[in-house]
Structure 1
C-alpha cells in the first residue's frame, strides 16, 4: 500500500477554531483527514501496546510524512487491528457518514449486481462475506475472490483503480467519490490458474469465473483468433462452461489484468506502452518513437526490488508535501530488473495506475510464497473480530524501506518490495525482452 500526506488544509471545527488537517492519501486517493494529535495518539499507542523490535524503527521516524509508510511496511503493525481501525474510523469521520444500515450494490461480470444490506461502518471483509452469502458461495471459496474499485469509461471499458483493503469501508469509499462512474466489482484475486479447478468445482464459483472469462475475452484482454473464437462460441451455445474456461486457459493473456496506455523509459525514454499483469509477470506492448512495436515480459521472479513514488509539482526549485494547496500527483512504478547476467537496470512506468500495478506484483509474490510454503489461499479465519493470517501467510514479510536522498527528494512517500538476487538470466534480443530473477529462495526450479 502506498501511504502519503501530499497536502494539508486549514479547517475549522464545530466551535469555529481553526486547525491543520493532514490529508492521508492511500494509493493516490484521499482516504481521510486527521489532526496531528490523532497521529501522535496512534504513535503513542503503538509504542505502548505493540512493543516489538520494529517499534525501534517507529521511534526513529522524525518526519510526520514518513510515519504511516513505515508503520504500514511492517507485517505486524501494518496488518494490526489497531492500525486498520484507526484508518477506518478516520475515513468515516472525514466523510461525516454516520453508522447506519444501507444497501450497497456489488457488480458481477455477468452484468448482474448484488444488493447487500450492510452497515456504513462495515469493513471490506464484512462486505465480501455478505456478497458471498447472498450468492451462496461456500466459505472456503471466499478467499479466492476480492472486491475491486473500477471506473467505467465512456468507451465501454473500465479502469481498475485498486483492490479494496481491510483498512477501508467500501460504502464510504464509493460514496465519497460522488460519481456514478465508479463501481465495486467482484473478481477472482489469485493468479495461478491451477486454483481455477477449486473454483469450478462449485456451481456458484463456476458461474463467477465463467462470466469473468467471457468479459475478459469480449474486452480484448484475452487474445483469440478466428478458430478459437468459433470453438468458444460453440461451447457457449452448448452451455459447456467448464470446457469454455479450460479452452480459455490455453489462450494468451488468460487471467491478466490490463492497464490503460501509459509511458515507460524502456527500451527508450518516452515510449508509449500497454502493461498487463498476470502469469507472474508484467507484459509490455511498447510503441517505440520510430512507430515500431515490441512485446516482452518482465518476470516478477527476476525483479530485485520495486518502488512506487509520487511526486508533487515543483515551485521555485522545491516541492513542499505539506503545502495547503491541492495539487496533482504524478505516480511512477520503478523496478530493478536483471536484464542479463550481472546487469541490473531500473525500468520506470509512469501511470495513474502505478499503485495498482504494484499491488498486482505484491500479490504475485505473496501467492508464490504461500504456494512454496504449502499454504492455502482459502478464506482467513477471524479471531477476536479481525482476520488473522495463516502461518504460511505470516512467512511473507516485507523488507525494510528503501531510504535514500533520491527517493525522498520531491517525493511524498515510497513503497518498496525488496528481493534477493540470482546468478542467471536471459538476454534481451530481437523484438522481445524478458528475463528471470529469483527472490527469497525461490528460483526457476521451484516455479
Structure 2
C-alpha cells in the first residue's frame, strides 16, 4: 500500500481554534485527516511498545507557530515517517498502527458507530447482504460474509474483499484489496459513487490450493462462479474447442471438472488490469498487464502497431517501488496556476534480472500501480511460505481471530452463473515468454518521489535462466 501526505489544510476545532491538518492518502485517495499531536501520540505509543531502536525519526515539536515553509517541511517529514512505519514488517502490521488508522478514518468521515447493512458482491453478480457495524474492520466483514454463505472457518483465509469499480462498458477495474487498517463500510461510503462495490474473490495464486477450496460445497461454488466470470470477461483465454468442452461440463453441472479444465487454460487465476503505459521494450508503449502464476504478463503494442508478449517472473525482480506525483490539470490554460486541480500519477517500477549479469528497471504508468504491487507482494509471501516448507492453510489459520461468528439460521447459497457465451473469434492466442526459476530474492519499496525514466531494449528472447540462486541477485 502506498502512503502519502500530499497536502495540508487549515481547519478549526470545536473551540474555534485553527490547526493544520495533514491529509493521509492511501493509494492516492484520502484515507484520513490527522493533527500533528495525534501522530505524535501514535509515535510515543510505538516507542513505548517497541523501543527507540526500531522507531523511525519523528519531526520535533515547535514552540512558535509554524511558517508556511515549516509546515511544508513537517508535511514531508511526516510523510516519510508514515511510509517508514508502514514498510517496517513489525510496526506496519501492528494492531497499534492499524487501529490508529481505522479510528482516524472513521473520525475523518464523521460516520458514527452503528449497525448497518452492507452489500458484498460475488463474482457472478449475486449480492450478499451482511449486518455489520460501521466500525467493523475488513476481517470482521469477511467473517460476516463467510458466516452468511456458510463457508467453513478454515477456508475464510483463502478469500479476500476487493474494492472494484464498474465501468460503463460493462467491465470492471480492481482498485485494491481491502486492508486490515480500513473499515470497508466507511471506505465505500466515502467514495459517494454507485460505481464502486466490494467483491469477494480468492486471494491466493497457486492453483494447487484450489483442491482445498473445492473440497467444500460453498468453496467450490465460489471458485466455480469466479472461473466462469473470468472466462466471460476475457481474462482467461478459450478457443472454440475448449469452449465446447467447458459448456458441456457446465450443462452437466460438473463444476470440479469445469475448474480442472480451466486450470489448463492460459491466464487461469490471473487478474487483468486496465490498459496502461510502459517504457519496455520502448518508451510510451501501450500495454495490458496481467498478474498471476508468479509473474507480471505484458501484452504490448509497439509504436509500429506490432503486438508482443512477455512475462516478468517475481523471482527475477530484485526490488520494486510505487511512486506518485501530482500532475496539474490546466483547465484549458498552457500554464496552470498553483490553484489548479491536480491528478495523481502512479507508477510501478521494478528492477529485473534480464540476464545473469544485467539488471534493468521497467516502469508501468497506471492508476492500478498499487494494486499491481499488492499482487506482487502476495505472490512473494506465498512463495516464501512454500520455500520455508510451511503451509498456506496453517499460515491463514494463524491469522484467524480467536472465537467465531454465530451462523445465521437463513444461509445464503451461491448461485450457478449462466451458461457461457461464445468466445470472441477475434481474440488471438499469443505465446508467453517464461521458464521456471529456482530463486526468491526481492523486496517491495515505496516512495513519494518520481521514478526515473529508463528505456527498455527490444522485447525478445527468453529472460529466464535456470539455477540462479539468491547470491546472483
Same fold? TM cut 0.5: yes
What residue in structure 1 maps to residue 80 of structure 2?
A: 66
Relative to structure 2, which stretch is displaced further, 319-328 or 367-376? 319-328
Instruction: Decide which moves more: 427-436 or 230-239.
Output: 427-436
Q: Deviations over 1:204-229 (max 9, x none)?
A: 00000000000000000000000000
Deviations 1:285-324 (A, max 9, x none): 0001110110000000000110000015599999999999
Count, aligned residues: 442
Q: Which stretch has the larger CA shift, 322-331 or 148-157?
A: 322-331
SS at the partner of 2:268?
coil
What is the CA distance between 1:431 and its match in structure 2? Answer: 12
CA RMSD of aligned residues (A): 10.7
Structure 1 window deviating more from structure 2 (386-395 vs 158-167): it is 386-395
Residue 396 and residue 228 in structure 1: after superposition, are their counterparts in 2 closer, same or farther (change >3 A)?
A: closer
Give the TM-score normalised by structure 1: 0.82
Q: Could you say which residue in structure 1 is the equivalent of 2:364?
A: 349
For residues 171-229 of structure 1, give each alpha carbon's deviation from its aligned partner in whole angstroms, at most 9, with x where no partner exists: 00010000000000000000000000000000000000000000000000000000000
Query: Given that residues 237 and 266 in structure 2 are in contact (C-alpha distance below 8 angstroms), is that contact kept between their aligned partners in structure 1?
Result: yes
Whole-Å Cα distance in 2 between the matches of residues 428 and 372 of structure 1?
32
Q: Equivalents in 1 of 2:331, 2:107: separation in Å?
A: 36
Q: Secondary structure at the match of 2:392?
A: coil
8 Å contact kept, 1:370–1:392 = no
- Give the distance between the partners of 1:172 and 1:422, measured in 2 at CA: 26
**Which has the larger displacement, 155-164 or 334-343?**
334-343
Equivalence for 1:414? 440
Contact 2:163–2:176 at 8 Å: present in 1 too? Answer: yes
1:78-136 CA distances to partner (integer Å, 9 max, x unpaired)? 11110000000000000000000000000001221111100000000000001001101
Q: Which moved more, 1:271-280 or 1:430-439?
A: 430-439
Alpha-carbon displacement from aligned partner over 1:336-358 (angstroms, at most 9, x marks no partner): 01112211110000000000000
Give the Å deviation of 1:378: 3.1
1:361 aligns with 2:376: yes
Q: How far did 1:373 drift?
A: 1.5
Q: Give the CA deviation at 1:28.
A: 1.6
1:392 to 410, 424, 434: 410
CA 1:102 to 1:408, structure 2 compared with 1: closer, same or farther past 3 Å?
farther
In structure 2, relative to structure 1, the CA distance for the partners of 1:65 and 1:396 (3 Å cut) is farther
Cα distance change on mapping 1:52 and 1:345 into 2, 3 Å: farther
**1:279 to partner: Cα distance:** 0.2
| Structure 1: unaligned runs, 5 residues or longer | none
SS of alignment partner, residue 348 of structure 1: strand
Question: 1:406 and 1:44, CA in 2 relative to 1: closer, same or farther beyond 3 A?
Answer: farther
Deviation of 1:16 after TM superposition, in Å, equals: 2.6
Question: CA offset at residue 442 of structure 1?
Answer: 8.8
How big is each residue's C-alpha offset from its partner over 1:349-371, in whole Å with a ceiling of 9 and x where there is no partner?
Answer: 00000000000000000000011
Question: Does structure 2 conserve the Cα–Cα contact (< 8 Å) formed by 1:32 and 1:91?
Answer: yes
Residue by residue, what CA displacement relative to the aligned partner does 1:261-288 show, whole Å, maximum 9, x if unpaired? 0000000000000000000000000001
Query: The residue matched to 1:180 in structure 2 has which SS?
Result: coil
Relative to 1, partners in 2 of residues 1:387 and 1:236: Cα closer, same or farther, differing over 3 Å? closer
1:203 aligned partner: 217
Question: CA 1:136–1:339 in structure 2 vs 1: closer, same or farther (change >3 Å)?
Answer: same
TM-score (norm 2): 0.78
* Larger of the two Rg values belongs to structure: 2
Distance 2:367 2:415 in 1: 27
Residues in 2 aligned to 1:408 and 1:60: alpha-carbon distance in whole angstroms: 46
8 Å contact 2:355–2:465 — kept in the other structure? no
**CA 1:85–1:44 in structure 2 vs 1: closer, same or farther (change >3 Å)?**
same
Contact 2:24 2:30 (8 Å CA) reproduced: yes
Q: Distance in 1 between matches of 2:441 and 2:80?
A: 11
1:81–1:386: 8 Å Cα contact kept in structure 2?
A: no
CA contact (8 A) 1:256 1:279 kept: yes
- Tell me if the contact between 2:132 and 2:141 (Cα under 8 Å) persists in the aligned partners: yes
Question: 8 Å contact 2:162–2:178 — kept in the other structure?
Answer: yes
- Is the CA contact (8 Å cut-off) linking 2:3 and 2:26 kept in structure 1? yes
CA spacing shift, 1:432–1:281, aligned 2, 3 Å: farther
